[in-house]
A and B are shown apart, each in its own frame.
Chain A
Amino acid sequence: MSEEKRVLLEMRDICKSFIGVNALKGVDLVVREGEVHALEGENGAGKSVLIKILTGIYQKDAGTIRFDGKEVNFTSPAQAQEAGIRPIYQELTICPMLSVAENMFMGNEIKKRGLIDWRATYKRAEEILQSVNLNIDVRQPMGQLSAAMQQMVAIAMAVSLDAKLIIMDEATSSLDDKEVQSLLNIVKELQKKNIAIIFITHRMNEIYEVCERCTVLKDGEFIGCYDLDKLPKLELISKMVGRDASTIVNFKKQYNSDIESNEVICEFKNVAQGLRLKNIEFELKKGEVLGFAGLLGSGRTETGEVLFGIRKYTGSITVKGKEVHYANAGQAMKDNIVLCPEERKRDAIFPDMSIEDNITIPIMNKISRLGFIDRKKQAELVDKYIQMLKIKTPNKEQLIKFLSGGNQQKCIIARAMCCDPEIIILDEPTRGIDVGAKYEIEMLIQDIAKSGISVIMISSILEELERDCDRVVIMREGIVVGELLHEDITEENIIHTISEAHTN
């Protein structure tokens, strides 16, 4: 303990809420000088909100932040950078039209007699890039560089600016193996210079290669801060995706082995998509709940999007016996395939429209005559689903943005149901909703499957998959690495399959 390094950053009890959602519920983050600290958690765990609070983009609602010995409350990114906190975001921070050098020195121009000295700027930019072995034309527009290159440029820049703390938010997600290695080498170099690094990644190997400690968040809650020496990979994964202490859902699916002999309604053969998906093959049977497990970045969401026609792919997809090539969501919906997307707020909700309209929007054509919506039919349908799904709302004219997350999600599922689907793709159906509603939604999934609809359930919560699925396909970095059936679907088995794949 004597050689323990000085604490550089101490965030305590950080709370933050957005309209209708509590994004952070009392989170701690402590980083020491010269430490590489991993910040882990699935999508929606609150990692990026925490980082945005630290870097002054969001303001915390409650809690304290101490940096470099002083209590701080950054109200703008400029202040955070002034203090020596340099974030490297995945995409947000570039102006694609401007040159590489300009992007590097934006907000921090090199000047001579009050004017920007371009010659010095270009020279300095080249020097900085060469120091990390990058040889590129600093005059070309940033947008012409590959994502990997952009990332490297941003890192090189942060390094050159006397940063005390560098935050790498999914910095490696778009890099290939060689680039990742050189980036990790840079991280090790930085560490030697006593610069602290908060490292966010979804690749386990990287965490264990460079990080010393790891803070885990889940659903906006602080799970713990661990020394990675003493925490095996298996345990880390189970901390991230494992049993939710606050969930007291206690039921187990009754398996019906008849489903195994049901007809195959959808089949993937050799489906690939860029870097995201490689050679995906699986079958979906009528009336079954097929789970997709895997960590963030494993390609589970992309698989669903490929089937729904909103992501280009190569390979063959067969639905109800005929090969299909959907070019957009509308075509997939004509074949009775529906998707409830992962990012509810971004991709599903029409916040300023009523519950009624939100539920019936995809089938408006079906319940209308000469373009006029049949209000009676609409009301009947909506009432039916409000009752069936137990949507809690004063009335069906209420704007959906005033509902709780769970009820919003029920509306989205109701929307899918009223399309009379044969295949429902549910991407993270229980994200951001409270415990009671989670249970209801899981029961609902069972009812849907019983009525003969095939469900594809994509989830990062393994216990959910364990409870709800007939079969689970396990993915890792774009590849199917295993499949589990009935009783074999347990949290332990899934974690085991994932981490085994990682070791190989």
Chain B
Amino acid sequence: MDRSISAKHVITQNATLVAAVAIIIAAGIAFDNFFTVVNLSNIFRQASMIGIMAIGSSFVILTGGIDLSAGSLFGFAAVMCGIVDAFCPNPFVMGLIAILTCAGFGALNGFCVTKLRIPPFIVTLAMMSGVQGLGLIITEGGNTLPITAEGFTNIATGTIGSVINDKGLEVGVVPVPAIIMIVGFVIAVIVSKYTTFGRNCYAVGGNEDAAIMKGISVNRTKFLAYLMSGICCGIAGIIVAARTRGGQITVGDGYEMDVIASVVLGGTLLSGGQGKVLNSMWGALIITMIGNIINLNSDVISYLWEGTITGILLLVILVAQSKMQSNKLGAR
């Protein structure tokens, strides 16, 4: 095999990682307040929620579907934490019930897509509005439910390892949510690469007819993907509840778009069947870093630039992807 081709292959396969590293290096050189332990660990803490949801969405998108309900489910999980906290302030029970609830919504998505044969876009669009409505009803118009459970906030604010900063204060290095995200991605990579379900997602999204003929249960694969997306939203929701010490439904407004953008930035095709789950993590980091850099340097760049930069970056990647696709087809 040709070496130069494989080297190029490695770069194109990991373009998102390369981009993320490039942004880190460039930002580190350009802004001296970027490359600090506190800031980097903040970035990871923020990215973890989008990242965790992107895990589930990656699988859904690999099967050729889409999940627009991620943001609402995320907010609803936080609300569930708040509700359970009121009568059983136990972090474990709160988390479990939040995850189960979101798993239920995910399963409902999956049911509508597979059994009722409604386009995923419509199903999850309706679910987005429906779940948000439920959340607003429960919280009587979007109030924040306070969370008092002991130890619950550690899920979001806890850290592992510490360093002494220049002011002589001890600061944590690796935030717990980042660990959850990384563990999540490790599991996701294993699932996507080493399990039948993972490979079936690629097969179903790559060529549904082929998958059917190979005897793969398309409906089961899709259902599991939506279920998984629901569970991931649940986990991310717990983190946001812990972070804000409260359950608020509107906390997830617009998050679904960040999640989808992360997956797309990671190079996963929205038509399904191609992409690497791990790259969604780099996508989530890039999106978070853009916001972070702008926040840190609000005297230089207006915070208003954030969406513009993200949007244009997305556009550039899409055009590049389409070029790559057409080159590939031309070669055949």
Contacts and interface: CB of A to CB of B under 8 A. Distances in A.
Chains A and B touch each other in the complex, with CB atoms below 8 Å apart: yes
Nearest to A76: B215
Interface string A74-110: 0011110110000101001111111000100011110
A137 to B, nearest CB: 7
Interface string B99-129: 0000000000000000000000000000000
B87 interface: no
B211 interface: yes
Contacts of A137: 1
Contact of A107 (B190, B195, B209, B214): B214
B281 to A, nearest CB: 21
Interface string B204-230: 001101111111110000000000000
Nearest to B204: A95
B159 interface: no
A99 B26 CA distance: 36
Nearest to A140: B1
A98 B203 CA distance: 8
B44 interface: no
Interface in A115-167: 115-116, 118, 137, 143-144
A78 B195 contact: no
A459 interface: no
Q: Which interface residue of B190, B196, B200, B215 has the most chain A CB atoms within 10 A?
A: B215
Interface string B263-298: 000000000011000000000000000000000000
B194 A94 contact: no
B93 to A, nearest CB: 30
A134 B184 CA distance: 40
B194 A107 contact: no
Contacts of B199: 102, 106, 109, 116
Nearest to B272: A97
Nearest to A80: B215
B14 to A, nearest CB: 16
A143 to B, nearest CB: 7
A158 to B, nearest CB: 12
A97 B202 contact: yes
Given A107-B214, A144-B332, A116 B196 contact: yes
A418 interface: no
Contacts of A111: 196
A155 to B, nearest CB: 15
22 contacts: A77-B214, A77-B215, A78-B215, A78-B216, A81-B215, A87-B213, A92-B207, A93-B214, A94-B207, A94-B210, A95-B203, A95-B206, A95-B207, A95-B211, A98-B202, A98-B203, A98-B273, A106-B216, A107-B203, A108-B214, A143-B328, A143-B332
Given A102-B202, A106-B199, A143-B328, 10 more contacts: A77-B213, A79-B215, A87-B213, A93-B214, A94-B207, A94-B210, A97-B202, A114-B195, A115-B195, A116-B194
